[in-house]
């Protein structure tokens, strides 16, 4: 007699997935069309068919702890060809959204980032932190926040909100995100390895750190070139906008660190010349960020056979806000509109703080988890 297996469905998990964009999940009748048409799904134990049945049964741990949900790039091929309109790509996107909140640690904050009604509270938090930081600096005599600079001819945003204070607030926020990711990744790697062992995708009891790092190095070019996006047929052009946003963030990260060194170590104060090569990189990256975000929005609105949830729009809107407020701050400064510049710069600081603090809980976290999952697939010879 075969051994009985007891399943403990989590009905709340199913409802969460439906709210996160997987509303058509229950339409799936396991025809396997999605796994057949997916151009990047592995030949053995392909996705997303098995994830669709596990999710519709409420088997949370089975799908949330799987690396395969991250190997999917949500190109939309399965959505377009699904005969039942179950939208498997959207279902996997919803599972990833749920997984991000699970691994981010502070689940209450994760739920807030997923809930559009909580957006005003999320934006109010950095507003209060920035305001409190400026007021405290004034109380202790540093006067790092000024509402009415003398003379009316100030040319640098530090006249309103000092750049040193910005760094003092942003650096701990950045490391909060790093630590949150580190703790989440520790659990994530352990879970996907245990899941792979249980499903027979690997036979190694323990992960070899050196081998995993080698696998990570091997997949980085694939990520940078967006090879998997170009294998798709329905939404191949999306690779361009994704690469623009990715490389824009890399460029702006380089620029930020260069100016940080200039201010804190070399004590070279801004504003910096527009002919400065670092400034050129910043301007190019800023413009590319705006264009990339607009292309992402255009692509998302054009895909009528896929659901677009608040989870998706939060990310692209934040990316666009970062680019627009950053470039507009510079243009207003160059145009001498300093009071208006101060307002836009304040909005830019709120966007930056939100990027740092909420990234481990937002869709942007897929950059970390998908990279790790792809490295694990390479390490375990899973294929992706």
Residue 132 within a domain: yes
Domain boundary among 106, 128, 155: 106
Is 339 found in the same domain as 197?
Answer: yes
Residue 2 within a domain: no
Q: Does the structure show a pLDDT above 50 at 317?
A: yes
Is 342 found in the same domain as 241?
Answer: yes
Is 184 found in the same domain as 59?
Answer: no
Q: Does the structure show a pLDDT above 90 at 382?
A: no
Residue 4 within a domain: no
Q: Does the structure show a pLDDT above 90 at 150?
A: no
CA-CA distance, 364 to 97, in Å (whole number)? 10
What is the average per-residue pLDDT within 304-312? Answer: 75
Q: Which residues touch 217 (CB under 8 Å, ≥6 apart)? A: none
Neighbours of 268 (CB within 10 A): 11
Q: Which residues touch 125 (CB under 8 Å, ≥6 apart)? A: 357
Is 120 found in the same domain as 54?
Answer: no
Residue 1 within a domain: no
Is 194 found in the same domain as 140?
Answer: yes
195 contacts 62 by C-beta, under 8 angstroms: yes
Residue 6 within a domain: no
Query: At CA 107, angle to CA 120 and CA 65, rounded to 5?
Result: 130
pLDDT grade, residue 5 (50/70/90)?
A: low
Residue 71 within a domain: yes
Query: Maximum CA pair distance of the chain?
Result: 89
The count of structural domains within the chain is 2
Is 141 found in the same domain as 65?
Answer: no
CA-CA distance, 203 to 180, in Å (whole number)? 30
Helices marked H in 303-365 — which ranges?
310-334, 338-358
Q: Does the structure show a pLDDT above 60 at 2?
A: no
What is the average per-residue pLDDT within 330-358? Answer: 92
Residue 266 within a domain: yes
Nearest Cα residue to 28 out of 47, 45, 9: 47
Is 152 found in the same domain as 21?
Answer: no
Is 345 found in the same domain as 286?
Answer: yes
Is 115 found in the same domain as 80?
Answer: no
- CATH code for the domain in which residue 23 is found: 1.10.1060.10
What is the model's pLDDT at position 176?
96
Q: Does the structure show a pLDDT above 50 at 1?
A: no
pLDDT grade, residue 44 (50/70/90)?
A: confident
What is the model's pLDDT at position 153?
45
What is the model's pLDDT at position 4?
60
Please state, in angstroms and as integers, the Cα–Cα distance from residue 217 to each residue in 52, 224, 287, 293, following that order. 31, 11, 29, 28
Domain boundary among 84, 106, 128: 106
What is the model's pLDDT at position 238?
78
What value does the CA radius of gyration of the chain take, rounded to a whole number of Å?
Answer: 23
Give the domain range for residue 268: 109-379
CA-CA distance, 74 to 30, in Å (whole number)? 19
Is 135 found in the same domain as 183?
Answer: yes
Is 52 found in the same domain as 123?
Answer: no
Q: Does the structure show a pLDDT above 90 at 42?
A: no
What is the average per-residue pLDDT within 115-135? Answer: 95
Element containing residue 196 per DSSP (H, E): helix 163-198
Residue 5 within a domain: no
Domain boundary among 60, 83, 106: 106
What is the model's pLDDT at position 151?
45
What is the average per-residue pLDDT within 27-39? Answer: 92
Is 87 found in the same domain as 160?
Answer: no
Pick the more confident residue, 44 or 47.
47
Among the ranges 98-102, 137-141, 157-161, which has the highest mean pLDDT value?
98-102
CA-CA distance, 207 to 250, in Å (whole number)? 29
């Amino acid at each position: 007699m075969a051994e009985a297996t007891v399943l403990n469905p989590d009905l709340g998990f199913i409802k969460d997935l439906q709210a996160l964009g997987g509303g058509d999940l229950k339409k799936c009748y396991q025809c396997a069309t999605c796994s057949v048409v997916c151009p990047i799904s592995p030949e053995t134990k392909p996705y997303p068919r098995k994830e669709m049945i596990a999710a519709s049964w409420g088997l949370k741990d089975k799908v949330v702890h799987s690396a395969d949900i991250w190997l999917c790039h949500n190109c939309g091929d399965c959505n377009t060809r699904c005969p039942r309109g179950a939208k498997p790509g959207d279902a996997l996107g919803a599972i990833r959204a749920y997984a991000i909140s699970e691994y981010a640690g502070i689940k209450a904050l994760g739920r807030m980032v997923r809930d559009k009604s909580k957006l005003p509270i999320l934006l109010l938090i950095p507003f209060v932190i920035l305001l409190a930081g400026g007021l405290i600096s004034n109380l202790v005599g540093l006067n790092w926040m000024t509402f009415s600079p003398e003379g009316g001819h100030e040319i640098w945003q530090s006249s309103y909100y000092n750049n040193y204070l910005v760094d003092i607030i942003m650096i701990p926020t950045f490391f909060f995100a790093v630590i949150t990711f580190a703790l989440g990744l520790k659990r994530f790697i352990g879970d996907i390895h245990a899941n792979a062992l249980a499903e027979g995708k690997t036979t190694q009891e323990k992960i070899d750190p050196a081998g995993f790092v080698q696998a990570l190095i091997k997949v980085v070019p694939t990520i940078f070139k967006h090879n998997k996006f170009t294998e798709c047929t329905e939404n191949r052009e999306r690779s361009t906008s994704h690469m623009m946003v990715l490389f824009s963030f890399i460029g702006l990260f380089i620029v930020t660190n260069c100016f940080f060194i200039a201010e804190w170590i070399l004590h070279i104060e801004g504003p910096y010349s527009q002919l400065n090569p670092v400034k050129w990189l910043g301007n190019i990256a800023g413009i590319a960020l705006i264009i990339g975000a607009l292309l992402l929005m255009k692509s998302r609105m054009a895909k009528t056979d896929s659901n677009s949830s608040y989870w998706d729009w939060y990310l692209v809107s934040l990316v666009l806000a970062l680019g627009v407020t950053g470039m507009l701050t510079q243009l207003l400064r160059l145009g001498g509109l300093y009071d208006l510049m101060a307002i836009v710069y304040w909005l830019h600081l709120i966007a930056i703080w939100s990027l740092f603090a909420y990234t481990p809980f937002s869709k942007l976290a897929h950059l970390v988890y998908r990279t790790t999952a792809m490295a694990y697939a390479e390490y375990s010879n899973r294929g992706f």
